[in-house]
Structure 1
Amino acid sequence: MESPARPTRNVRRLCDAIASLPTRSGATVHGSRPWLPGIVLVCCCCLCVPAFAATALVAVAASFAPAARQLGQTWEQQSGHSLKFSIGSTGKLYSQIVNGAPYDLFLAADEQWTERLIQAGLAVEDSRTTCAIGTLVLWSPDARRLTSHGPDVLRRGEFRRLAIANPKLAPYGRAARETLRALGLWTALQARIVQAENVAQASAMAASGNAELAFIAGSVQAPGGSHWIVPARLHRPIRQQAVLLNRAAGNVAARGFLAYLRSDEAKARLVELGYRMAD
């Protein structure tokens, strides 16, 4: 549902200009022209009629949610439009879209899911864009646990539980599995691995003490504790992608936010939040 946008700067300037018009006696219009409020109202209405504030429903991967909220808030203030976020694992959100969920924009943590939507005829092919490259982090709320090299900590096995996002649904979970396989530890640690639905839940498991370690996104890492940044060579790139869904082809809010995600301003902010830009 669209609602009238807030008055623009041009409206305020027009009001000020009318108010400062001199009368024949040299005084300003204020106090001498009782019909002034009517003129101002008509002018405001004329200028505001074509300007509407639209709303876009955005499906966003849990790993990208903190960044999306920050960028969304900035863009809403600049545009006057609004965004509503639905957060979950990339795979779960994909399934919802395939089953008819009324999303306008999909912010995925992996390129395979956006490609599937395009192949299924549910997304606008030329709208797909890579917003950033995600960083995988091994994190512990214990400031002393990861003071040495991450793989050494994993090999020593001095922990009960290691939380990861579901590799079948969450790209950061897939990257965690690939990392453990590259280190030759995937099979050895099976009994200690606990799977969460998404990377935010994996982080919560560690933060609550239900796991001593967690593979999470650098963007959702809680303050404090200790961490090891996983070298990018140990897993496939985690491409945070955005794609416009077919039902939103005419949604100005969805298109506008997608354009903002491609802007230099948004890219600079994502780098500040721990992401890398695509080469």
Structure 2
Amino acid sequence: MSPVSLCKQSLSVLGLALVVAHGAHAAEVQVAVAANFTAPMQKIAVLFEQDTGHKAVLSFGATGKFYAQIANGAPFGVLLAADDTTPEKIGKEGLGIGATRFTYAIGQLVLWSKQPGYVDAEGKVLAKSDWKHIAIANPKLAPYGLAAMQTLDKLGLTPQVQPRVVTGENIGQTYQFAASGNAPLGFVALSQVMEDGKLREGSAWVVPAGMHEPIRQDAIVLKPGQGNEAAAALMQYLRGDKARAIIKSYGYSF
């Protein structure tokens, strides 16, 4: 065999060995993800697997429902909540590892319509009477829904708006109500209508932070994820530059 052929064969064997070694340490973790964080987390999960070899299996839904599932023994290894109170509660109740909890993003509430020009820059459309429905996530289950109700209270509009509220089970369903046109208005997460720093379509009023309690979104390793390499790696990855760039591009802050 020629020296060149021998060299190529050696490189191929070395490459195969590296792939095998990389795969041998790969792990998998089931992740419960708040519905508002769907788009950025889908992108992050792809890069996470490419960069670490570990796989994040994602489930999306309302934080309140995830808490009930976790309390009943659901095998999630990590929770990316839409608030900070649920992970704190999970840590105190021994359902998760309290020391792992950190804020991975601060969410932004937005009043949005699929129709261009429908929502003004100050949200004054809320005080008008010529629209029939507004979509708001269930405030008992979804932190963005609670923030929406706090905003209406702050504006003194709750009594006149409440009868026209269409309640979404989570912020994902709430967005669908508004995106389908079933509700001309919707209080949704900025991340659902923004990408790369720009509004994808329609019109919106970004609700000032002082109108509601901060939407601090915390992550925590759950009991089934204790000792799971993928869970630990994901928590570290979410703090990294690549993940943070994606998170920021969807309108979140830190």
Q: Who is 1:257 aligned against? A: 234
**What is the aligned counterpart of 2:144 among 153, 166, 172?**
172
Q: Normalization by structure 1: what TM-score? A: 0.82
Post-superposition CA distance 1:64-96 (Å, at most 9, x none): 111111111111110111111111001001111
Higher relative contact order (CA 8 A, sep 6+): 2
Aligned pairs for 1:84-123 (under 5 A) are: 84-123=57-96
Distance 1:215 1:50 in 2: 43
How far, CA to CA, are the matches of 1:85 and 1:46 in structure 2? 24
Q: Residue 79 and residue 148 in structure 1: after superposition, are their counterparts in 2 closer, same or farther (change >3 A)? A: closer
Deviation of the 1:268 alpha carbon: 2.6
Do structure 1's residue 56 and structure 2's residue 29 form an aligned pair? yes
- In structure 2, what residue type is equivalent to 1:79? T
Q: Find out whether 1:30 has 2:2 as its counterpart.
A: no
Aligned: 1:181 with 2:153: yes
Aligned-partner Cα distance in 2 for 1:240–1:121: 19
Percent sequence identity over aligned pairs: 44
SS in 2 for 1:189: helix
The letter for the 1-side match of 2:21 is: C
Q: Write the distance in 2 (CA, Å) between the matches of 1:57 and 1:50.
A: 18
**Unaligned 5+ residue runs, structure 1?**
1-22
Secondary structure (helix, strand or coil) at the match of 2:227 reads: coil
Query: Mapping of 1:1-279 within 5 angstroms?
Result: 27-28=2-3, 30=5, 40=13, 44=17, 48=21, 51-147=24-120, 149-150=122-123, 152-221=124-193, 223-277=200-254
Q: Normalized against structure 2, the TM-score is what? A: 0.90
Counterparts in 2 of 1:266 and 1:148: CA distance versus 1, 3 Å: closer
CA gap 1:144/1:121 in 2 versus in 1, 3 angstroms: same
1:160-200 CA distances to partner (integer Å, 9 max, x unpaired)?
00000000000000000000000001122111011001111
| Cα offset, 1:44, TM superposition | 2.5
Structure 1 contact 90–109 (Cα < 8 Å) conserved: yes
Gap regions ≥5 residues in structure 2: 195-199
Q: Does the residue aligned with 2:30 lie in a helix, a strand or coil? A: strand
Residue pair 2:36, 2:82 contacting (<8 A) in 1 also: yes
Note if contact 2:131-2:184 (Cα within 8 Å) is conserved in structure 1.
Answer: yes
Aligned residues of 1:64 and 1:240 also touching (Cα < 8 A): no
Tell me which protein shows more helix as a share of its residues: 2
> Which has the larger displacement, 55-64 or 45-54?
45-54
Q: 1:253 to 1:46 in 2, by over 3 A?
A: closer
Give the whole-Å Cα distance in 2 for the aligned partners of 1:276 and 1:67: 13
- SS of equivalent residue, structure 2 residue 111: strand
Shift of 1:132: 1.2
Cα gap change, 1:234 to 1:46, in 2 (>3 Å): closer
| 3-state SS in 2 of match to 1:30 | helix
CA distance in 1 between partners of 2:42 and 2:145 (Å): 22
Residue in 1 that maps onto 2:197 = none
TM-fit CA distance, 1:48: 2.1
Give CA deviations for 1:213-240 in whole Å, capped at 9, x if unaligned.
0000000127211000000000000011
Distance 1:119 1:221 in 2: 35
SS of match in other structure, 1:64: helix
